Structure 1
Amino acid sequence: MANQRYDAFLAVARAGSFKAAAEELGYTQAGISYLINALEKELGLTLFDREYGGVHLTADGREVLSLVQAINADEHALATRVHELANREWGLVRVGSFTSAAIEWFPGIASAFLEQYPNIDLKLLCIDDEAELTAATRSGRADCAFSVAPEQQALDAIQLHTDPLLVVLPPDHPLAHAKVFPTEALAREPYIQLQGNARPSEMEALFEANGVEPNVRFTVDSDYAVMAMVSAGLGFSVLPSLILRRPLFPLAVLPAEQECARTISLAVRSWDTASAATRAFVEVTERWVAEHYAPARTPAARTASRQ
């Protein structure tokens, strides 16, 4: 029931390569080329510029991309729902997640879910880029996703947890045992910035709350590289509490004078079209987080960005 040509088109658009798209979907490169050519013939449009080293969407390809994403997501949802109606005890939930939730939450949630629904499979998609993570849910590549900005893609979401942003210091730093990290130190001390994946905006919220600009000395793209550099005494950084539950390096952790936090939600494309298996996963996740963390919201804190 799902349209293979649409799957191929979206995979090539994401990967910029027929070869990479073939590897993602489990086809041969010739198979992907055939599907794209068939779709272009059906639509009467050239969707990709074929160039040495890769392919790129044409202007027409960019115009139809969002429409194909929506149609493809609806067709996958229809296929899932028909499968559920035929056999309600089976299914697949594709869960998108950033690193800290994948490490700290998903194993426990998966165990609780599979204990209750042993015949429903789970697939974890680790995506640290927040825009890509929510776009995967919007397009149907993920059935649901842990997100800190579901409203950016007009997704329906349920708030799970308020996750503080904390200052991390070398364990021998003079302020390591202070109650809070002073605002003036936020501006003065050398800062190790976590770059990429839409993450700086999360951390910048703490500096904005304290009314200062960071003194950026290093920019890196890995949470754990940040921890290693801070532990080695190269500066301080700001990281979410969730990733600091089990740090791999010795660190001192304390709040800023003006505290700040991010809200972690579980997002779906639409509550109305979410599969029964996806809704079951959402319910188990909500219950698991409530059992393991202090309540961060009331039961009514469920948003429906898409009206």
Structure 2
Amino acid sequence: MDSKKFEILMTAVNLGSFSKASEVVGYTQSGLTHLINGLEREIGMKLIRRDHSGISLTEDGEALLPAIREYLSATAKLENQIETITQKRTATIRIAAYASLAMHWMPEILYRFRRVCPETDVDLRMVDHELEPFELLEEGRTDVIFAARQSHINCDWTPLYYDAMYAILPEDYPTGSEESFPIEEFDGKEFLMPYGRFDIDVNAALSPKKVKPNIRPCHVDDETVIRMVSKGLGITMMTEIMMRGRTHGVKTLPVSPKTGRELGIGMHLSKNTPEEILRLRECVLDFTRELM
């Protein structure tokens, strides 16, 4: 039996008229009459009584009324459940993350997320430009970003991790027994500037002390910059997560006074954030708590 026919039957009974019902359900009056007649033949009994005042249920129709309502309620519940499951299966969260975060954080985060939302796909996009994640978020081309906080950009921001800045030096660079690298030491030195607008973070560290190194822009990846330092072509500064696992052949010291950047997760400003994105954020928070 087709639940749609019973829905139309109930509409006609509630309105007390085939003509009124036809306007609601989008059938002609003759088409609606034909549909109800076919339903009556299908179940083998008369359901509708017609008289000068309109239409109403027959005695048999009244007897079936509770079962019809229960059938329609169960059908609606089933359809809603099917739609919910289908939406979950086809849901995709778009993520943009710095290359360093994509490498060191995202595999574990996505592993945890898949365990709680196995039907949700993730489209991970790796970016190298400091501001690109925020641009993608503002343009609606991504749903979630992992980046360094930019005070002039407004989004739903959750701080995650303080990424300390380190000086990266040739192995033979004279530092004596120092356990940190004074920011003033960069003044006048050949400085290899990592690309992708990382100069935003570097200048935030240098400017308060009015330190002015001799900057050499490098349009290559971070690992190549570090290898250039190892060959004595200059010195540089990167955050801990940027240089992690790449420090062979160089000396690294935390910059003093301590400086760095706030890494976090950003999302659209919304009162109706999808449940899957909220659960992703919980996975991220659980992961980053373990890093502290």
Could you say which TM-score interval applies, normalised by the shorter chain? 0.5 to 0.7
Q: 1:189 offset after TM fit, Å?
A: 2.5
Corresponding residue SS for 1:191: strand
Q: Could you report, residue by residue, the CA deviation over 1:131-183 in whole angstroms, capped at 9, with x for unpaired residues? A: 32112112221110012135443211100011011111112222275312234
Task: Quote the Cα distance in structure 2 between the aligned partners of 1:160 and 1:214.
Answer: 31
Corresponding residue SS for 2:218: strand
Q: How does 1:1-80 map to 2 (within 5 A)?
A: none
Q: Give yes or no for the alignment of 1:255 onto 2:251.
A: no
Corresponding residue SS for 1:255: strand
Task: Quote the Cα distance in structure 2 between the aligned partners of 1:84 and 1:204.
Answer: 51
Task: Quote the Cα distance in structure 1 between the aligned partners of 2:217 and 2:268.
Answer: 37
Task: Quote the Cα distance in structure 1 between the aligned partners of 2:211 and 2:134.
Answer: 30
Corresponding residue SS for 2:272: coil
Aligned counterpart, 2:3: none
Aligned-pair identity in percent equals 22
Q: Is the 8 A contact 1:143 1:274 kept in 2?
A: no
Matched positions, count: 211
Q: Is the 8 A contact 2:182 2:257 kept in 1?
A: no
With over 3 angstroms needed to count, the CA separation of the structure-2 counterparts of 1:217 and 1:177, relative to structure 1, is farther
Q: Identify unmatched segments of 5+ residues in structure 2.
A: 1-81
What is the one-letter code of the residue matched to 2:282?
Answer: E
Larger Rg, first or second structure (1 or 2): 2
Q: Identify unmatched segments of 5+ residues in structure 1.
A: 1-82, 295-307
Task: Quote the Cα distance in structure 1 between the aligned partners of 2:176 and 2:190.
Answer: 15
With over 3 angstroms needed to count, the CA separation of the structure-2 counterparts of 1:158 and 1:218, relative to structure 1, is closer
Task: Quote the Cα distance in structure 1 between the aligned partners of 2:129 and 2:183.
Answer: 29
Aligned counterpart, 1:214: 213
With over 3 angstroms needed to count, the CA separation of the structure-2 counterparts of 1:264 and 1:225, relative to structure 1, is same
Task: Quote the Cα distance in structure 2 between the aligned partners of 1:281 and 1:150.
Answer: 22
TM-score, normalised on structure 1? 0.63
Aligned counterpart, 1:244: 243
Corresponding residue SS for 1:159: strand
Aligned counterpart, 1:227: 226
Corresponding residue SS for 2:181: coil
Corresponding residue SS for 2:256: coil
Q: 1:225 offset after TM fit, Å?
A: 1.8
Aligned counterpart, 1:30: none
Q: Give yes or no for the alignment of 1:117 onto 2:117.
A: yes
Q: How does 1:82-93 map to 2 (within 5 A)?
A: 85=84, 87=86, 89-90=88-89, 91-93=91-93
RMSD over equivalenced CA pairs, Å: 2.3
With over 3 angstroms needed to count, the CA separation of the structure-2 counterparts of 1:217 and 1:125, relative to structure 1, is closer
Q: Is the 8 A contact 2:183 2:255 kept in 1?
A: yes
With over 3 angstroms needed to count, the CA separation of the structure-2 counterparts of 1:109 and 1:176, relative to structure 1, is farther
With over 3 angstroms needed to count, the CA separation of the structure-2 counterparts of 1:244 and 1:168, relative to structure 1, is same
Q: Could you report, residue by residue, the CA deviation over 1:43-83 in whole angstroms, capped at 9, with x for unpaired residues? A: xxxxxxxxxxxxxxxxxxxxxxxxxxxxxxxxxxxxxxxx9
TM-score, normalised on structure 2? 0.66
With over 3 angstroms needed to count, the CA separation of the structure-2 counterparts of 1:243 and 1:131, relative to structure 1, is closer
Q: 1:85 offset after TM fit, Å?
A: 4.2
Aligned counterpart, 2:140: 140
Aligned counterpart, 2:287: 288
Q: Could you report, residue by residue, the CA deviation over 1:181-214 in whole angstroms, capped at 9, with x for unpaired residues? A: 234421032211123x321111112212433111
Q: Could you report, residue by residue, the CA deviation over 1:225-264 in whole angstroms, capped at 9, with x for unpaired residues? A: 2111111111110101111221164221112222211001
Q: 1:289 offset after TM fit, Å?
A: 0.9
Task: Quote the Cα distance in structure 1 between the aligned partners of 2:118 and 2:149.
Answer: 31
Aligned counterpart, 1:204: 203
Task: Quote the Cα distance in structure 2 between the aligned partners of 1:264 and 1:183.
Answer: 22
Q: Give yes or no for the alignment of 1:101 onto 2:101.
A: yes
Aligned counterpart, 1:278: 277
Corresponding residue SS for 1:130: coil
Task: Quote the Cα distance in structure 2 between the aligned partners of 1:130 and 1:256.
Answer: 21
What is the one-letter code of the residue matched to 1:277?
Answer: E
What is the one-letter code of the residue matched to 2:107?
Answer: P
Q: Is the 8 A contact 2:165 2:259 kept in 1?
A: yes
Aligned counterpart, 1:22: none
Corresponding residue SS for 1:119: coil
